[in-house]
């Protein structure tokens, strides 16, 4: 079945550092890929998505490219801020949404 | 923000008691979902609904039942709560099952079973 693997957390960075959170997937068919973000005490919000191979999703300075050849959808941001501290979930969707385990990110000033 | 509310937001109960969590939406979306969130597991699907009175099981459905008597409400019931059901529960909605269709999430209910 479909599955998603994210890099283990927690991840701690200093403000303005470069961020990469790795995500790889196993899937049949033509799934869409998503990154969701969960701020403390809140539900999940869609951060970005990509619906086919080579698509790049972007939002709030974050980017991720749907790489079919490496079955990856890594999340990147060039310069993180304290306000980016949250838990990030990579997810894959055929008919159902399948989540990775989440990566907790903490940004220190 | 999508109009999704969950109630209660926090609940503490004892082992063996029944518990019902409610999800209410104002978006008129056809599909509704219940997930549980546990450390190291991300979110896992418990049950989902594809219309009034139409429901199906997810990957972790044992010990849970659901009901949907109106488009806007989706109830999750723990018939006899156990400590392993201590978790944060999220409701979600979507317009379709198409792969590119986003799911919108509610704020969550934190359930503690003592």
Tens of pLDDT along chain B (114 residues)? Answer: 569 999 999 999 999 999 999 999 999 999 999 999 998 888 999 999 999 999 999 999 999 999 999 999 999 999 999 999 999 999 999 998 887 788 999 999 999 999
CB B91 within 8 A of CB B9: no
- B100 and A32 in contact by Cβ < 8 A? yes
Instruction: Provide the pLDDT for residue B1.
Output: 56
b/e B9-28 (16+ beta carbons within 10 angstroms → b)? eebebeeeeebebebbbeee
Query: Could you report the per-residue pLDDT of A98-109, keeping only the tens digit for each?
Result: 999 999 999 999
Residue A67 DSSP label = B
State how far the Cα of A17 lies from the Cα of A14, in Å rounded to an integer.
Answer: 6
CB B49 within 8 A of CB B74: yes
What's the average model confidence in pLDDT over A77-94? 95
Distances (CA, A) of A11 to A62, B19, B25, B105: 16, 36, 34, 24
Residue A46 has its nearest CB partner, among B40, B90, B102, at B102
The beta strand positions in chain A, using DSSP E, are 3-6, 11-14, 19-21, 23-26, 32-38, 44-50, 56-59, 62-65, 75-77, 86-93, 97-99, 103-108
Question: Which residue of A43, A45, A102 to mutate against B (max B Cβ within 10 Å)?
Answer: A43
Helix (H, G, I), strand (E, B) or coil at B83: helix
Residue A83 DSSP label = G
Query: Could you report the per-residue pLDDT of A62-79, keeping only the tens digit for each?
Result: 999 999 999 999 999 999
CB B23 within 8 A of CB B9: no
């Amino acid at each position: 079945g479909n599955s998603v693997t994210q890099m283990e957390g927690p991840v701690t960075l200093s403000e303005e550092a470069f961020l990469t959170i790795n995500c790889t997937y196993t899937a049949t068919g033509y799934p869409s890929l998503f990154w969701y973000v969960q701020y403390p005490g809140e539900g999940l919000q869609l951060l970005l998505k990509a619906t086919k191979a080579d698509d790049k999703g972007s939002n709030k300075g974050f980017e991720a490219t749907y790489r079919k050849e490496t079955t990856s959808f890594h999340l990147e941001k060039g310069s993180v801020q304290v306000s980016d501290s949250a838990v990030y979930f990579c997810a894959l969707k055929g008919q159902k949404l399948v989540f990775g385990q989440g990566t907790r990110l903490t940004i220190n000033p | 923000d999508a109009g999704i509310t969950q109630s209660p937001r926090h609940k503490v109960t004892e082992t063996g008691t029944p518990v019902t969590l409610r999800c209410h939406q104002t978006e008129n979306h056809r599909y509704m979902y219940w997930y549980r969130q546990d450390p190291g597991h991300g979110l896992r699907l418990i049950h989902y609904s594809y219309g009034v009175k139409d429901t199906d099981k997810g990957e972790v459905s044992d010990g849970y039942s659901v009901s949907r008597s109106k488009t806007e409400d989706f109830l999750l019931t723990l018939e006899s709560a156990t400590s392993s059901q201590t978790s944060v529960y999220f409701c979600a909605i979507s317009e379709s099952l198409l792969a590119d269709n986003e799911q919108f999430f509610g704020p969550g209910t934190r359930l503690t079973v003592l």
